[in-house]
Structure 1
Amino acid sequence: MITTKNIRIWMMGALAAFTFSCTESEEPVLEVPPVEEGLIEINGGGSTFPNSVFINLSKGEQLPVSRKKWDLAFSTGTDFKVLINGTAGALAYPTGIFDMNAVSDEQAEPLRSSGRLEMSFTNMEAILSVDLPSNPLSSPVMGTVNATAASNQVFLLNRGAFGIDPRPWKKIRVLVQDGKYILQHADVTSSTFSTVEVSKDRDFNFVYVSFEEGVVQVEPKKEDWDFMWSAGTSTTPFPQAVNGTLAYPFQDLVFHNIYGNVGAVQVMEADIAYENFSEGNLTGLAFNNDNRLTIGSNWRAGGGPNASPSIREDRFYLVKDAAGNIYKVRFIALTRDGERGRPSFEFALVKGN
């Protein structure tokens, strides 16, 4: 939501930004200045948190997208890497088999009965079956797709049931051909499989695929969003878990867009108050472009058996977008009228590009 003050500022800036060329045949160019301040209530969809929500601070906009809209995300970078849907709590398991038709429920049943491929607080091995939440492309569970087709194995995929109705497990295999991804997928019990060709689109961080719908639109173009609020897979140190790290479902994660050149840094109110922070206070701050969980779950205190989650009022965040605009961001509400899935934050421009 943009304040009336912001609308007036935007209109004045927009009028000042009109520039005309020397020829009558060309259209006038309108440069829209970044929004200077605002308040946004995130449309997470309510208590079942069905949406991931992409935020663009410079436009004061949000884009809610159903978390179950997609299953796999295909990187558009130089390498060929595929991510599973961590916002749904998906997990993947390498079968060591390189033929789709040779994988069946025989391989899936032991994983299902043991809970080895379930996202839960009691699965001490879950960290082995998820993409690294802080920087998934640095350690995707499916690795890098090999240019040699015979080297790419079949994975079993639990599509996730974190706030989502369980769906049949899948078997998947990804190949590379002529610079494109080739996805093979089927239900675990199927004796045939479907094939989807996925081309890279460099305007986006990823190209998304749904097993039911094929290629689908999920996130905005890489330069058109700054952070995403979503439920999803998180991690925490836990000695009893494999590698000392527990992967578990978390409702209120904030991922900033590290693959779209967005940086973030946390600032404590004890060092300087949100209201007092200005451009002169930027000196010495290091924006994080590698860990997309810099905001993560840190903006709220986790609940427990005898306490509900709450906003942490002792901190705020700076977000530097792809254009170089720097905003301060402070979360001010976890719920709306007591309903989860609708947190709010305020933001203000500290430095324009």
Structure 2
Amino acid sequence: MVLLPAISCWGTEGLFTSNFCLILNSDLNMKRFFISQILVTGLLIAGCSSDDDSPGTTPEIPVVESATIDVESGGPNQPNQVYIDLSTSETTVVKRDTWELGFYSGSQNRVFLNAAILVTAAELSEFTDIDEVNSSTVFETPLALKGLNAQFQLADVSVAGVEELKAGLPLSYYMYGDLDNGIIFTDSKEGALSGTTIAEVSTTESNNKVYIVSAGSEIPAGTPDPGDILTTGDHRGFYKIRILTDGSSYTLQYAELDATTHEEVVITKDDSYNIKAFSIVNGAEVAVEPPKEDWDINFTSVYSYYGNMGGLVAGAAYSDYALHNTLGNVGLYTVFTAETTDGETVETGAPSFDEFTRADVKESELKYNDRAVIGSDWRQTPGFGGGTAQVRNDRYFVVKDASGNYYKLQFTAFMNAFGHRGYPQFKYELLE
């Protein structure tokens, strides 16, 4: 059993709901009719565009202009990842434990870890033969790492072999790493290509090392008490992998840690998608993300990473977590209507959610390099310091999708009518 962090582990919600709540503007159908007539008339008059026109500069007209979404996270165990396309309100729901590795389809040869089930990985820089590595493997040069001691202070750790590495590889407060020297066994919080813990895969085969992978944690089946969540179950085991590439596809070698032989599979890049997902536990490629142009928000439910959190350098898992599609050129920023300092709340002067218009958008504040802007900051829980579990009403978010459409988005709930956590809800509107 992996020792897990206590961060964001308060709350409840037990009844699963698959309801998909969609509230459309009552005038939408009539509006679409007039828009289509205008477009047809314009085409008949213009016949063709001028040489000065640039293709793709006019945003596509969204099918849905406003909606309220009940996100199907699945209740207090939060078993699902949910991908949401704001232009259509379509959602894609996948179990978060169906994959461990995500192979990037862009020009760089990168492989992501599934942070929603706490997958981590460590490079073994001395090894390129996957079949030579097992739990008994000893390193010629011990790894110099750091970990938290019993007093929650960083201390030096010398790791002589794989068996010792296994003790500090699974994500927990006590996992190993060394931020100062760039040794991190999770992908970065921001989700940048340069932040993958697996190094960029080289087209030179000898440059690609063996990695030990902690396959994360199972989704538990138990029902927590009202007001609580239960998102992290038993450890899913250790595996070893090695990844090669020719630039247009990846060759993945994988096996359980103590296997004497390995499996091999080719995963071909597809430019329509950000990543192609694969499960080393189940030995199969998995359909996870929709095409990269068909989603804006990923309510990943659980999210994990290693980093500096209020002075504590450790690994932590967060629940009720939302990301936006930075790899798909979606930008997002937060609008704060009030700020609280030393218990005193002061209004910022920003317009309210209802008052905010297209003219209020600050283009320079859109974040395309940090997918965790929303994160879990849209809600608050009692945590260590007490308080009330509630949605934060002092903020909302501005989203610009890959087609150039702007939206304002605000969370409205994260518990159901029975007080059980794991039922987030948000509303949004197209800014015209």
Q: TM-score, normalised by structure 2?
A: 0.73
- Corresponding position: 1:106 with 2:136: yes
383, 398, 402: which one aligns with 1:322? 402
In the alignment, residue 264 of structure 1 is paired with which amino acid? L
- Corresponding position: 1:47 with 2:84: no
210, 215, 223: which one aligns with 2:279? 210
- Corresponding position: 1:58 with 2:87: yes
Question: 5+ unaligned residues in a row in structure 1: which ranges?
Answer: 23-30
| Pairwise CA distance, 1:61 | 2.0
Structure with bigger gyration radius: 2
| Pairwise CA distance, 1:135 | 2.2
Which residue in the other structure is 1:224 paired with? Answer: 294
Which residue in the other structure is 1:25 paired with? Answer: none
- 1:131 alignment partner, SS class: coil
Change (3 A) 1:182 1:46: same
Change (3 A) 1:68 1:321: same
Which residue in the other structure is 1:27 paired with? Answer: none
Which residue in the other structure is 1:345 paired with? Answer: 426
Contact persistence 1:14–1:32 (CA under 8 A)? no
Superposed CA RMSD in Å reads 2.3
| Pairwise CA distance, 1:109 | 2.0
Moved more, 324-333 or 307-316: 307-316
- Corresponding position: 1:94 with 2:102: no
- 2:28 alignment partner, SS class: helix
Which residue in the other structure is 2:242 paired with? Answer: 173
- 2:427 alignment partner, SS class: strand
- Corresponding position: 1:251 with 2:319: yes
Contact persistence 1:118–1:126 (CA under 8 A)? no
- 2:359 alignment partner, SS class: helix
Moved more, 175-184 or 125-134: 125-134
Which whole-Å CA distance do the structure 2 matches of 1:99 and 1:197 have between them? 18
| Pairwise CA distance, 1:308 | 5.3
Change (3 A) 1:90 1:186: same
- 1:111 alignment partner, SS class: helix
Contact persistence 2:70–2:424 (CA under 8 A)? yes
Which whole-Å CA distance do the structure 2 matches of 1:275 and 1:309 have between them? 24
Aligned residues: 336
Which whole-Å CA distance do the structure 2 matches of 1:131 and 1:313 have between them? 30
Contact persistence 1:83–1:136 (CA under 8 A)? no
341, 351, 357: which one aligns with 1:278? 357
| Pairwise CA distance, 1:336 | 1.2
Q: TM-score, normalised by structure 1?
A: 0.88
Which whole-Å CA distance do the structure 2 matches of 1:168 and 1:51 have between them? 21
| Pairwise CA distance, 1:126 | 8.2
- 1:342 alignment partner, SS class: strand
Change (3 A) 1:146 1:284: closer
Which residue in the other structure is 1:83 paired with? Answer: 112
Which whole-Å CA distance do the structure 2 matches of 1:292 and 1:178 have between them? 25
CA deviation profile, 1:141-183 (whole Å, cap 9, x unmatched): 1110111111111100001116254222110000113631000
In the alignment, residue 315 of structure 1 is paired with which amino acid? R
Give the alignment of 1:109-128 within 5 angstroms: 109-112=163-166, 114=167, 116-123=168-175, 125=177, 128=184
90, 100, 103: which one aligns with 1:71? 100
Which whole-Å CA distance do the structure 2 matches of 1:148 and 1:240 have between them? 38
Which whole-Å CA distance do the structure 1 matches of 2:388 and 2:279 have between them? 35
Which whole-Å CA distance do the structure 2 matches of 1:185 and 1:106 have between them? 18
RCO comparison, higher one (Cα < 8 Å, 6+)? 2
292, 311, 314: which one aligns with 1:239? 311
Question: 5+ unaligned residues in a row in structure 2: which ranges?
Answer: 1-20, 45-59, 138-161, 218-230, 338-347
Which whole-Å CA distance do the structure 1 matches of 2:329 and 2:363 have between them? 19
- 1:17 alignment partner, SS class: helix
Which whole-Å CA distance do the structure 1 matches of 2:312 and 2:22 have between them? 47
- 2:421 alignment partner, SS class: coil
Which residue in the other structure is 2:328 paired with? Answer: 260
